[in-house]
Amino acid sequence: MTEKTILRALKGEVLPTPPIWMMRQAGRYLPEYRATRAQAGDFLSLCYNPELACEVTLQPIRRYGFDAAILFADILLIPQALGADLWFVTGEGPRLSTITSAEGLKALKGKDDIHTHLAPVYETVKRLSEALPRETTLIGFAGAPWTVATYMIAGQGTKDQGPAHLLKSEDRATFSALIDLITDATIEYLAMQIEAGAEVVKIFDSWAGSLKGADFDEFAVQPTIKIIKALKSRYPHIPVIAFPREAGAGYVGFAKKTGADCVAIDNSISAQWAAANVQKDGCVQGNLDPRHMVTGGEALVEATQEVVRAFKNGPHIFNLGHGITPDADPENVALMIETVRKG
């Protein structure tokens, strides 16, 4: 069998047509997803139901024929597995019990105690590895330690990650210990996804851009190095995609520093700049502005073509610069894919 296109790109091959998948491709913009989520009852119940989580992961593959499927789960399942309370408020997003002290940190479980809670996720991966078309790559994922920590400290998403920055400055020992715990748990979580059948894993650092200077190295780069090194020691042939979102100049050299096989980039930087400064080190994933999935039209076609042209001389996986939004038009997704594939 010819090797899957995404795996070829991740090995550094320059392909005539870039493989394509889309962050949050299983999600609220699809009517079939909304129907399945209603069947599950709520978001977390969907994440922990292997049959339904497998179904929503497969829906965009059936509809669009993406080159990869990404496990349907959430980055905050790790905090819950470590012992934090987690719930979702409709229209507002996640809420967690907060970790703001050494005492709170000590109350959490260890990295080896997460697997019973996360067993349904591993079962979903196993089912997907058996159900996906032969040509479709299965991607597992986790949140990066910094991003996960920001939610655990604040108890919710925040615009500036202020509570995490405050704990980092006022009680660096506790903050660093939390990062270490999440890092170790993430290694074990991703390893189990690989054991269950994931062919690639991705590390999402959605709030990496708010780390500056030495903090970016200590809390974005170093944990990624530790995770990738540990995974590569066990599974040397499993590629890792890293996404330090809004890292700006921090994207330069990120792959070499961390050992990532691919760096996913957001749309705050131009494809041309990324081709010159990031792609020179290997595969790049990205970076169409997700708003085009809402507005569509000729602007979508032109922007898609511009991204493909910018990265055509190096290994590239076409994707958005961030996740597709719930107000996106499914027909615009089809237009994007058609544009990429017809060249």
Q: Which domains does the chain have, with CATH numbers?
A: 5-342 (3.20.20.210)
Parallel/antiparallel/unpaired status of strands 86-89 and 68-70? unpaired
Catalytic member of 28, 63, 95, 291? 28
User: Would the pLDDT of 165 be above 90?
Assistant: yes
Q: Calculate mean pLDDT across residues 40-53.
A: 97
Catalytic member of 29, 48, 151, 189? 151
Q: Read off the DSSP letter of residue 19.
A: -
Query: With 0-12 CB in 10 A as exposed, 13-18 as middle and 19+ as buried, what is 98?
Result: middle
Is 24 a residue of the active site? Answer: yes
pLDDT, residue 91, reads: 83
pLDDT band at residue 90 under the 50/70/90 scheme: confident
Q: Which of 302, 340, 317 is nearest to 261 (CA)?
A: 317
Catalytic member of 8, 34, 37, 95? 37
Catalytic member of 29, 33, 64, 74? 74
Is 329 a residue of the active site? Answer: no
Q: Calculate mean pLDDT across residues 162-177.
A: 98
* Whole-number Cα distances in Å, 233 to 29, 182, 227, 242: 38, 19, 10, 17
Q: SS3 of 85, please?
A: coil
Q: What is the dihedral of CA 280, 284, 289, 294, to 10 degrees?
A: 150
Q: SS3 of 195, please?
A: helix
Is 28 a residue of the active site? Answer: yes
Q: Calculate mean pLDDT across residues 93-104.
A: 96
Q: Determine if the peptide bond prior to 287 is cis (ω within 30°).
A: yes
Q: Is-contact 93 156, C-beta < 8 A?
A: yes
Percent over 70 (pLDDT), the chain = 99
Is 151 a residue of the active site? Answer: yes
User: pTM of the predicted model, to two decimals?
Assistant: 0.97
Q: Which of 8, 4, 1, 3 is nearest to 283 (CA)?
A: 8
pLDDT, residue 83, reads: 98
Per-residue pLDDT tens over the stretch 198-241: 999 999 999 999 999 999 999 999 999 999 999 999 999 999 99
pLDDT, residue 96, reads: 98
The distance from CA 89 to its chain's CA centroid, rounded to whole angstroms, is 22
Is 42 a residue of the active site? Answer: no
User: Would the pLDDT of 297 be above 90?
Assistant: yes
